[in-house]
A and B are shown apart, each in its own frame.
Chain A
Amino acid sequence: AQSVTQPDIHITVSEGASLELRCNYSYGATPYLFWYVQSPGQGLQLLLKYFSGDTLVQGIKGFEAEFKRSQSSFNLRKPSVHWSDAAEYFCAHNYGQNFVFGPGTRLSVLP
């Protein structure tokens, strides 16, 4: 069965520091990959997605992600974190209309 893993349950970074959130998928073929953010009490908002072409994709709020087929990874990055980035981040993939979310990584930001 297809699965998405996010190895880090909780990450804490200082404001202004760089960020990388890890995501790995299990399906062999190239899936469609997504990163969503969920703020407390809010629905999920799409940050970015990848389905073909350039393996480095740019998203909203200064986020980017890089697809690496050899590592089955789609890690999310941001060069300088803002306090408002504190939230839960979910990686997801969609293959054959089977949309699967990872367990999420909670990001805390220190002032």
Chain B
Amino acid sequence: EAGVAQSPRYKIIEKRQSVAFWCNPISGHATLYWYQQILGQGPKLLIQFQNNGVVDDSQLPKDRFSAERLKGVDSTLKIQPAKLEDSAVYLCASSLEFQSQETQYFGPGTRLLVL
């Protein structure tokens, strides 16, 4: 079965510009997650969706970050305007259901560099 797809794989922008990342989860997976992984740190959960509804976005910097999951399948994460500290790898993951023991399957990530 196909894994979690993400694009682009790499992005370089200048501060104050905007950027968007795309994620296509594994077919049939109801739950989708976006993580931010800063160099040398573990991934930090930004937002999680159950189908097309937001379950938790408590760690999403809502003044500049937004995410949507229209139709409960693909998702986009946007940053506007970007700051230097947003340089990180943005990981998308999906799981079959919204349960604690469910395995999350991760995509390869999008590496963002903000200059």
Contact B4 A43 (CB under 8 A): yes
For B104, give its contact among A99, A100, A102 (CB under 8 Å). A99
Question: Taking the nearest CB of chain B, how far is it from the CB of A75, in angstroms?
Answer: 17
Kindly list chain B residues whose C-beta atoms are within 8 Å of the C-beta of A102: 42
Contact A97 B43 (CB under 8 A): no
- The reply on B25 being an interface residue by CB < 8 A is no
Question: Taking the nearest CB of chain A, how far is it from the CB of B9, in angstroms?
Answer: 9
Question: Taking the nearest CB of chain B, how far is it from the CB of A22, in angstroms?
Answer: 14
Which residues of chain A in 80-99 are interfacial with respect to chain B, using CB atoms and an 8 Å cutoff?
90, 92, 94-99
The size of the chain A interface, using a CB distance under 8 A, is: 26
Known: A43-B108, A101-B43. A51 touches B4 (CB 8 A): no
Contact residues of B: prevailing secondary structure: loop
Which residues of chain A in 48-96 are interfacial with respect to chain B, using CB atoms and an 8 Å cutoff?
49, 51, 90, 92, 94-96
Q: How far is the CA of A42 from the CA of B107 in the complex (A)?
A: 8
Known: A97-B55, A101-B43, A101-B44. A32 touches B100 (CB 8 A): yes
Kindly list chain B residues whose C-beta atoms are within 8 Å of the C-beta of A4: 42
Question: Taking the nearest CB of chain A, how far is it from the CB of B111, in angstroms?
Answer: 9
